[in-house]
Structure 1
Amino acid sequence: MKYHDNTSFASDSIGIDIDLKKLKLLIPEIFSPIQEIKYKFKKWGFSTHIEVISEHVKYGDSQGAIVVKTNPLLIAAYNEDIDCIVMLVFEDKIQNKYNFKIQDRLVCVNTFADISQLQSDLIPGKNNSGMWTLVHPIIADLVSSDTTKIEKRKNEIGDKGYEYIWQLATDYLKLKKGVSRIGKPIYSDQVIPQYF
């Protein structure tokens, strides 16, 4: 991997590819003409946000995510390593495009880092591995059209897994009083509280 830690490997990587049209809807600001040219010439060492996101969703750890609200669109992205959810908020145009319903099942792809202290919006669960203090989730359904792989992963997570994520999300709404992160991939690793 070019942009992520080669010393650790995801246990549930699903190897999805990005869909540039979906990604452009979600985060158009990374599609400037210069960024698109750099992406086309990535094999010559040019770095772009598009390439970083592509590597993230191909090799990161896939887990369940669930729609919590539709106005604004809130998606709870689960990660097994810290055993918690990250609450992500998205622009209205994303809900208008996908017409999600509450409790719709999605997949997120996470990468992790160990920083000086646990990110302030996280509520670690009883199965927290203690290895990581930062989680960076990206919602696979919003950046990829590899529906076969995504649906297969949803089936692996199953009813029990999604019920657990829903419970964590409802607990989070009580404990964090409307705090969420920006859902766009280049921001979703940062605790920049968005209040809803």
Structure 2
Amino acid sequence: MDQELLNLFGHARISDRQLDELIGLAKGLTADGLVNQSEAEFLQAWLAANVAVSGDKTLGLLYRRVAEMLSDGVLDADEQNDLLDTLSFFSSDRIEVGEIQKPSSLPYTRPAPALTFPDVRFCFTGTFEFGSRRDCEAAVADRGGVAGSLTAETHFLVVGSYATESWKHSSFGNKISKAVDMQLKGLPIAIVAENHWASYL
């Protein structure tokens, strides 16, 4: 076997080992249902060291998310919830790391409605391929829409592509449950998947 193939196989083993370590870290960090500032900084340092020798896309995605959250030196409450959701996804035993959640288990509005942006209010929950929640909110604002917390005036709740089967028991699941309750009360809010939202950008 030539050296190039040996290097490829060695790289794959490093990546697998790192992903196993990431799953273990994620389980430990989310065990108490909260990810605090020092835990996020520890995770950032671990990711920085491992991304440098791996190049694995999963590690790279998480590293970028954590680095962005800590870029101002403070992990605020929204960022804590976002990171908790993200790590809960990575530590889930029910799906493979990096797998996009099948939409059938989430209460998306059927059929998926057409989206517009000017003067339309959006709320985001979960972990997004597009970028951070702030990136998603900025994309809406750039198109004349409004993004913020879930209220009676919200038109669309957008659920990030990375979600867990146990969404009802996660922090982002609280918003989904609230949106379903709002629908049952007759409020005109639709629940849509990230890829549906992104297709209208």
Decide: shared fold, TM above 0.5: no
Structure label with greater radius of gyration: 2
TM-score (norm 1): 0.31
Greater relative contact order structure (CA < 8 Å, 6+ sep): 1
TM-score (norm 2): 0.31
More helix by share: 2
